[in-house]
Structure 1
Amino acid sequence: MPFITVGAENSAPIDLYYEDHGAGQPVVLIHGFPFNTATWEKQVGALLAAGYRTIAYDRRGFGNSSQPAAGYDYDTFAADLDVLMTELDLRDAVLVGHSMGTGEVVRYISTYGSSRVNRAVLLSPLEPFLLKTSDNPEGVDRSLFDGFQQAIIADRFAYLTTFCDAFFNYQDNKGKMVSEEAYRAHWNIGARASGIGTLQSVDAWLTDFRADLPRIDVPTLIVQGDQDKVLPFAVTGQRLQPMLPNSRLITLQGAPHGIPWTHADDVNRAILEFAATPATARA
């Protein structure tokens, strides 16, 4: 199992697990909360078949990566991604983030630039800014996120059930877009995550990305379901697209938050068409 060391906690290294398959232009897949690389199963096969090199890694605290007690913020997450990009010497890369993973994409390009990046894909995005404040009245009340953290502290595994219900819009899509077995698999993946990382990641969701957005200088594709119950479309993707002039928004009608699984064909088609578009046509 390949790992890259991104830091240390006391006597132990902080290692990120990653998978690196195929050849060609690299596509880096950054998973959502609270899952890991396994949730990209339906994208990896399609990308490999289309001739792309696919690199997927587990965020610190999740999957097979180390589970430190700190570093669950987007400056650290972006620094971790930078180590991966540098160590693997990735160039002309397509960065694809889902949900929480979109934060790494945006903060990485904002902080480290786009010299290694060709374009970006944001699936069910977190941006621009979730928290309701005096200058962000479209946001969500802090009390909702406090409730998430209280639920995680009280019973993280019960919270995971609630989260997976919302992730898939399970009552509407059970047996249609998602099987009971796929639901259980996602729950089991989430249960493997660090309890501390799961809790502290909620604070990271409240990151204000508005200052990062003007620094995104690569073509960007946004794909989101209009029935997203985790990151409501009106608060996220719908607001985000006008803030990124060199972007395109694809709205999936009736789709939930977990579109890499429930709407894999639509997502894969959108990524592959976007990745194959000549740069002159995208400018």
Structure 2
Amino acid sequence: MNAWKDDSMYNAYPKLVEDGCSTTDGVHLEMLRSKSFDGGIPMLTVPGMIGTASMFAERIEMIQPRPGIAFSHRGCGGSSSPSEGHYDFASRCLDITAVVEHYKLQEYFLYAFSRGVPLAVQHALDNPGRVKGLILDDAEPIYPQLSRQWVQRMIAAQFLWAHPFALERIQKESVECDLYDRLPEIQVPVLIFRGEQEGSLLSKAAAQKMMDRLPKAELVQLPNSGHGASPVDIPDYRDAIVEFLNRLDPLSVARPA
């Protein structure tokens, strides 16, 4: 399904294409992507626990002319909210696979933010020949078991892009999945971001633990950021991402200023 019409007047993201696909368990996923896939190996973005594609439109635009794709998690944004039994860790990993298969991607980079990190790590472990590099932004490779208090916090924060039913099912179907011991299996280069301010989900000790287990990892500390790059750190953050991607897949076309 392609919801995009070639008229920027009706498109909230005129530089991007609004798109959609379906998973093997029948979930419709909302997506944003670059208009062209001709600018090198694409970067597929995996949002945080209840993230949406629109939250990462800037990430796609900052790597141009390299193509980028982002999707909204099931039950979030314009993605459909399936019945119970479809919100466990394995089911949520299906969303990444659905996007890859929809675009018939043979090789791609994965960028993951927050609780999307364990989902991306699992996908990389399952697809070692296709994932060319990983960018893991401010979280450990652990999918958490969530408490009832988590649901209450999400509702209180009025994160209106997440369906209340989805929040309930994400919590009830959550089981901790710790992937630290499998990190040595990832042989591709990995770029890790860590915010140094309060609110970061990646402690200094946890970042070092990841570095010790990943054969080809590098760490970028963001001194003015908590959970997510702050406006002050955005230039260095952007440059680190673009340099990492272009080092692994050099582009012949200069990136726009």
Q: Same fold (TM over 0.5)?
A: yes
CA RMSD of aligned residues (A): 2.6
1:101 correspondence with 2:116? yes
Structure 2 counterpart SS, 1:191:
coil
Alignment of 1:74-93 (within 5 A): 74-93=89-108
Instruction: Count matched residues.
Output: 228
**1:123 — aligned with what?**
137
2: CA distance between counterparts of 1:205 and 1:258? Answer: 25
Shift in alpha-carbon separation, 1:234–1:72, aligned structure 2, 3 A: farther
Percent identity of paired positions between Structure 1 and Structure 2 = 22
The structure with the greater share of residues assigned to helix is 1
| Displacement of 1:217 | 1.8
Counterpart AA for 1:157? I
Counterpart AA for 1:20? R
Counterpart AA for 1:221? L
| Displacement of 1:60 | 1.1
Spell out, residue by residue over 1:236-281, the C-alpha distance to the aligned partner (whole angstroms, 9 max, x if none): 32321211121101111141102276733222111101011147xx
2: CA distance between counterparts of 1:249 and 1:72? Answer: 31
Choose between structure 1 and 2 for higher RCO, CA contacts under 8 A separated by at least 6 residues: 1
1:60 correspondence with 2:30? no
Structure 2 counterpart SS, 1:236:
helix
2: CA distance between counterparts of 1:196 and 1:124? Answer: 27
**Contact in 1 for aligned 2:52/2:73 (Cα 8 Å):** yes
Shift in alpha-carbon separation, 1:232–1:123, aligned structure 2, 3 A: closer
1: CA distance between counterparts of 2:103 and 2:217? Answer: 27
2: CA distance between counterparts of 1:37 and 1:213? Answer: 27
**1:183 — aligned with what?**
none
Question: Runs ≥4 in structure 1, deviation > 4 angstroms?
Answer: 202-205
Alignment of 1:206-221 (within 5 A): 206-221=176-191
Q: When the two structures are superposed, what TM-score results if normalisation uses the length of structure 2? A: 0.78
2: CA distance between counterparts of 1:63 and 1:37? Answer: 8
**Contact in 1 for aligned 2:30/2:53 (Cα 8 Å):** no
Spell out, residue by residue over 1:34-83, the C-alpha distance to the aligned partner (whole angstroms, 9 max, x if none): 321121132222112xx111111111121111111332233222222112
**Contact in 2 for aligned 1:33/1:100 (Cα 8 Å):** yes
2: CA distance between counterparts of 1:53 and 1:264? Answer: 20
**1:170 — aligned with what?**
none
Shift in alpha-carbon separation, 1:192–1:130, aligned structure 2, 3 A: closer
